[in-house]
Amino acid sequence: MFLFRRTGARVTVDEARSRTSGDQPEVVLLDVREKPEWTVGHAPGAVHVPLTRLLAGGALPAEAQGRPLMVICRSGHRSQQAAELLAERGAQAVDVEGGMNAWAAAGYPVVGERGNSGKIA
């Protein structure tokens, strides 16, 4: 899929939602915000690894390894940086434009750490 062959690629929240949702999503939604932001609210089914951990050389969580990634943060800045870093490491990664702010604005669900209704911090 051409979407994952170029660096700096971005996708909309609509595309991210459609490709990372369902019983067997084709793509992993990777949230790179810090733990306190994640705890307050994130997209259901997203996988968490803070950008700071990636920058320090940390590995992707097992459920994200070897899979295409759509990377998300609060507004799109950190996720763009993370997607570029991951692409340099050989991962298929693109950035979700507008981040969780755009996700929530589109009316998509946000859950807290315990699966309850969350918010974007």
Q: Which residues are catalytic?
A: 73
DSSP state letters, the chain: -GGGSSTT-EE-HHHHHHHH-SSS-SSEEEE-S-HHHHHH-B-TT-EE--HHHHHTTPPPPGGGTTS-EEEE-SSSHHHHHHHHHHHHTT--EEEETTHHHHHHHTT---B-TTSSB----
